[in-house]
Structure 1
Amino acid sequence: MSQISKRDAVFPADRHALYDLHRYSAAIRSGDLLFVSGQVGSRADGSPEPVFADQVRRAFANLREVLAAAGCSFDDVIDVTSFHTDPAAQFETFMAVRAEEIGEPPYPNWTAIGVNWLAGFDFEIKVVARIPVTASSSSSA
């Protein structure tokens, strides 16, 4: 009989209010994979950055903090899904910020999806990352 393991939640040191308000984990570690919840451009109090480019930068910053809490970086990301409330109007700005953030090839898989609601935000990014061998033995926050 196999045992069902409890979720191994990962949170950044300076977790924002949305995790508690909406009752979700920043990420879940499963074996050598890290499943990161959608990260938005929220300030520490959970409010959105008002300027779209700043919101996208803050979402990437929040993502970096979650990855770092598990001993990962964007180089360990293998799959990305991004959500956009107005892709046609936002795409150029998003691509400029993305180019600053994702590093060198080979790039991760990426799926961009247009949506009509993100709880007051205009952009969200979620990823799956492979946890480096040296980080997989460290404890979660």
Structure 2
Amino acid sequence: MNSAFDLSCECVGVMPTIEVQDYISTMPVRDDLPDSRAPVSQVGTAEQMNREIIIPDEMREIVSRAGYAPAVKVGETIYVVGQVGRTLDLEVIEDPREQFRAMWENLRIVLNAAGCTFDDVVEMTSYHVAMSKHMNVFREAKNDVFPKGTYAWTRIGVSELAHPGLLAEVKCVAVKRQH
């Protein structure tokens, strides 16, 4: 057994097993949370647990239809659900450039309702149907409104989104800056 893999396999075979119930019983109990047995490091402070649901007036219809919040604020961090390019009547916009512009406008509306701007975004994930076909137009629309080089961005190609005709969806995390 010369390889590290073989050695690690031997070690795993001799490690003692521990019952989950025994492990849980040794965790510190949080007195400020009812019946909690979660480790303190995983629970967070009371301030971190306070959540504010962000629903811009313009998006009340989608909330009533779909049942999810456009964003949730925890402390100074805002988690924005995926935004797409639709009209206020929830109709998909056919023209790719206009669809992407509407998507960024919808994101701006949610961030604004949370007291943030595009400058507060620290992480963004975008999902694309026919990514290579539309990426140049997508970037042009993004660059018209979004600051360059101030956030982490992951782009993912997908076969479809929630409604036929949608070409992209973007979700993000923003941290409200102290002004």
Q: Normalised by the shorter chain, which TM-score bucket?
A: 0.7 to 0.9
Per-residue deviation, residues 53-110 of structure 1 (Å, max 9, x unmatched) = 111100100000000001100000000000101101011111111111212x442100
Residues 21-36 of structure 1: matches in 2 within 5 Å? 21-36=65-80
Which structure has the bigger radius of gyration?
A: 2
Aligned to 1:133: 178
Q: Point out where structure 2 has 5 or more consecutive residues left out of the alignment.
A: 1-30, 34-45
Aligned pair partner of 1:67 in 98, 101, 111: 111
Rounded to whole Å, the distance in 1 between the matches of 2:114 and 2:96 is 28
Q: Is the 8 Å Cα contact of residues 80 and 173 (structure 2) preserved in structure 1?
A: yes
* Partner SS, residue 17 of structure 1: helix
Residues 104-115 of structure 1: matches in 2 within 5 Å? 105-115=148-158
Q: CA deviation at 1:19?
A: 2.3
* Partner SS, residue 103 of structure 2: helix
**Displacement over 3 Å in runs of 4+:** 2-7
Q: Point out where structure 1 has 5 or more consecutive residues left out of the alignment.
A: 135-141
* Partner SS, residue 124 of structure 2: strand
Identity of aligned residues (%): 31
**Higher RCO (C-alpha under 8 Å, 6+ residues apart):** 1
* Partner SS, residue 53 of structure 2: strand
Q: CA deviation at 1:7?
A: 3.7
Q: Is the 8 Å Cα contact of residues 16 and 46 (structure 1) preserved in structure 2?
A: no
Aligned to 1:13: 57
User: How many residue pairs align between the two structures?
Assistant: 133
The TM-score with structure 1 as length reference comes to 0.86
